[in-house]
Structure 1
Amino acid sequence: MSKKVIRFGVIGCGLMGKEFASAVSRWIHLEGLDFIPRIEAVCDKNIDATGWFADNIPTVRLVTSDYNDVLNDPDIDAVYCAVPHNLHARMYVDIISSGKHLLGEKPFGIDKAANDKILAAISANPGVLVRCSSEFPFYPGAYKLSQWIREEKFGKIIDVEAGFWHSSDLDPNKPINWKRQIEFNGEYGCMGDLGLHVLHVPLRYGWRPQNIRAVLSNIIEERPGLHGNLVPCETWDNATLACEVEVKGHKFPMTLSMKRIAPGHSNTWFLKVRGTKMSAEFTTKNSKQLSYLVYQSGDEQSWRTYDVPNVSAYKTISGNIFEFGFSDSILQMWAAFCDELAHGDKMSQPFQCVRPEEAAFSHTVFTAALESYREGKTIFL
């Protein structure tokens, strides 16, 4: 089969840059695709960070500390950019304006003003595909739940809970990093870091909050700095947002939670949807299981849990009985981006990466959450 080669540059050679490169190296794990990504350029301000890519990705031909070198390369089609939030506006705008397609990281700007600049660049360059990374909905259980939402199997929605929890900041002796500093992470704190993962599926199906009441927590207020001295933690550890959603004249509550300090949760994404005809729950904590309840008038109300087959958005060489994991979700997400880049609205499956308008509305949500907490009241959008 002749395959369309999509030539990528990677800007930001940290953890997620490596995950992307690893996924590209595993492309043979996918079956039946007529496109394939190839990493040809890598960039990081810390040039030492590019060494892993040069050593492990044989297709890399450009290694640089200046991202403009990547943007000025006429043979690069698309860019994956994973840099701190304070760099999003400048770098994303430059990438888009250069005509390169972009898969960026959340939250697509350190704040709403930064996101507005990115949106303006997108509007000025309509031929450029721009999407945001969000891999968890590509877990088979989450993907099946999303399919049920699309098929309107739930009847009238009773309520929705969505969240992303981990305990990476539970240790008070963990040194401070950029995500705890407003200068680099922004005032959103954990919402900017985790929130778009939580909102991806709800916003995709039109569950847009009409109002928000937020509770924000800064649990560990100081951490060891560069020289071991304690320095202030400026951003929020945890956030819980109580929202009201209206769909087709029907209102229901939706709870969104983002936690960097959730004891016992290493990296837990979950979605719970309860309706008058069907309810379902999925969590990556038990990633092989999907729980659901189907109800008709007079029926018993009985939850069922089954092991979800390893059947993903894009067919793989893995047998259905094997486990699906985080690296697999990254691979599926990249396939969705490349599929849309290669085929537009004729993708082989219907679930896209986060769209710019969804990222933009997340900024509306997070900005309202900050105001809600400051004012101690519900904010209407």
Structure 2
Amino acid sequence: MRNAVLVVAAPGVAYGPGMTTKPQLSWGIIGTGWIAGVFAEALAKSRHGRLQAVASRTSERARTFAKKHRIAKAYGTYADLLADPAIDVVYISTPHPSHCADTLSAIKAGKHVLCEKPMGITAAECERMVTAAERKGVVLLEAFMYRVHPQTQKLQELLAKGIIGDLRCIRTAFTFDLSVLPITGANVRIDPALRGGSLYDVGGYCINASRMIAGEEPATIDAAWSIDPATGVDRACAGVLKFPSGVLAHFDVGFHSIPTNFIEVIGAKGRIHVASPWWPEQKRAVITVQMTGKKSKEVVVRNGGWIFTIEADHMADVIAGRTKPLIPAANSIGTARVLDTIWRRMHR
């Protein structure tokens, strides 16, 4: 039973020195898969950006995507989009193994880059991308959109206050039924050559959140998995991370079951539960706090907004110097290291 509800308004953007004189950033999208469509629609509601171009591996795919999402320019090669001087920033939504090469090409062309997660399939790839962006002087961010939502910021605030005492355990889950997604054509999620499988598809969320909450990198990494005999990719994976402080993190990911999504943080004096951490509710996002011997209470974040639109505007704010990134590009290195470690054991 719940005995209290604390309502929190979504925080505004803190503007400061370095604001760009350009009122709108011109975006280009590289890759025309399902998630690219979601991001394209989110950009239509952006305060600081407009979607101007899309590129695919064929002109036909690019034109089809452009028509559906009302985009002015459609390019049949990625290089053509990157050569467009009107494009300020690109969103890369190609398959995981292509992220590094596509990101490096965009950086070389002088574009800011928002790259889908995982940013790289190995820690070394992420390090190359981060170094290249720093040398070129462009902004590079990994598209973990849940990290920029006010709900995640409120979770971090509650943990920083130490309200549940010393951390003991972190539990996370992200499972869904792949068959119900509106995907047509080849599905990279079930292609072993492209590191398909639930681990690389959604495992990064749980790993990223566990590292964020623990505030350190895991000392040991263990996992078990179920391989789909028809495709050769993992349809489910469960992992345990042990951090130097002694905190344990359990995660469960998969794409052949009913959707199950949560973050639970267990402390010495209480627990915090987030029922919808990865795609928070736009109007009313809820965090439940349960202290030992007391009734639970809800911490409600109202009007937090659509995560993909927030992500695009956060990218614009970082580029303009209005704010610092909530998740720096270098953070991708730790997540990629865990993913790669488990994947290599899984497929050795």
In the alignment, what sits opposite 1:201? Answer: 209
SS in 2 for 1:4: coil
Alignment of 1:220-231 (within 5 A): 220-222=228-230
Once the two structures are TM-superposed, the CA of residue 273 in structure 1 deviates from its matched residue by 0.7
Cα distance in 1, alignment partners of residues 148 and 247 from structure 2 = 26
Who is 2:262 aligned against? 270
The residue number in structure 2 matching 1:32 is none
Tell me what 1:12 maps to: 31
Q: Distance in 1 between matches of 2:314 and 2:212?
A: 15
247, 250, 254: which one pairs with 1:255? 250
Structure 1, gaps ≥5 residues long: 28-34, 223-232, 317-327, 376-381
- 1:227: which partner in 2? none
* Whole-angstrom CA distance in 1 between matches of 2:108 and 2:210: 30
Aligned to 1:68: 79
CA offset digits 1:301-341 (Å, max 9, x no partner): 4333x3724242xxx6xxxxxxxxxxx12212222222212
What 5-or-longer segments of structure 2 have no aligned partner?
1-20
Structure 2 residue identity aligned to 1:256: F
2:333 is aligned with 1:338: no
> 1:178, CA displacement in angstroms?
2.2
Q: 2:275 aligns with which of 275, 283, 287?
A: 283
- For 2:23 and 2:269, the matched residues in 1 are separated by 44
Q: Which amino acid aligns with 1:358?
A: N
1:243–1:255 contact (8 Å) kept in structure 2: yes
Taking every aligned residue pair, what percent have the same amino acid on both sides?
20
Q: What is the match of residue 8 of structure 2?
A: none
| 1:99 aligned onto 2:110 | yes
- Pick which of 72-81 and 174-183 moved more: 174-183
Residue identity opposite 2:144 in structure 1:
S
Alignment of 1:128-139 (within 5 A): 128-138=138-148
1:237-284 per-position Cα deviation (integer Å, ceiling 9, x unaligned): 1111111113xxx321111222112x221xx43211111244210122
- Residue identity in the other structure for 1:343: G
Instruction: Provide the rounded CA distance (Å) in 1 between the counterparts of 2:90 and 2:164.
Output: 38
Kindly provide the amino acid, as one letter, of the partner of residue 334 in structure 1: A
Contact kept in structure 2, 1:14 and 1:49, CA below 8 Å: no
Distance (Å, rounded) in 2 between the aligned partners of 1:169 and 1:55:
26
What is residue 293 of structure 1 aligned with on the other side? Answer: 290
CA distance in 2: counterparts of 1:201 and 1:128, whole angstroms = 26
Helix, strand or coil: the match of 2:258?
A: coil
Shift in CA distance, 108/339, structure 1 to aligned 2, threshold 3 Å: same
Structure 1's 153 and 4: CA in aligned 2 closer, same or farther, altered over 3 A?
Answer: farther
Give the match for residue 154 of structure 1.
164
Once the two structures are superposed, residues 40-61 of structure 1 have per-residue CA deviations (whole angstroms, 9 ceiling, x without a partner) of 2211113233335533555x44
TM-superposed CA distance for 1:374, in Å, is 7.1
- Of stretches 284-293 and 12-21 in structure 1, the one that deviates more from structure 2 is 284-293
The two structures, once aligned, show a CA RMSD in angstroms of 2.9
Write the letter of the residue equivalent to 1:275. G
Q: Find the aligned partners of 1:234 and 1:165 in 2 and give their Cα distance.
A: 18
TM-aligned CA distance change 1:21 to 1:148, over 3 Å: same
Structure 1 SS opposite 2:52? strand
Structure 2: distance between partners of 1:195 and 1:282: 17
* Distance of aligned partners of 1:62 and 1:45 in 2 relative to their CA distance in 1, 3 Å threshold: same
Q: TM-score, normalised by structure 1?
A: 0.74
Q: 1:371: how far off?
A: 5.0
Query: Does the Cα contact within 8 Å between 1:164 and 1:257 map onto a contact in 2?
Result: yes
The Cα shift of 1:109 comes to: 2.6
2:296 alignment counterpart: 303
Taking a change above 3 Å as real, the CA distance of residues 260 and 44 of structure 1, as seen in their structure-2 partners, is: same
1:140 positional shift: 5.0
**Contact preservation (8 Å) 2:273, 2:288:** yes
Change (3 A) 1:145 1:48: same
CA distance in 2 between partners of 1:14 and 1:76 (Å): 20
Partner Cα distance (2:123, 2:333) in 1: 8
Q: Is the 8 A contact 1:140 1:310 kept in 2?
A: no
1:114 and 1:310 map into 2 onto residues whose CA distance is 38
Q: Which deviates more, 104-113 or 62-71?
A: 104-113
State the one-letter code of the partner of 1:198.
Answer: C
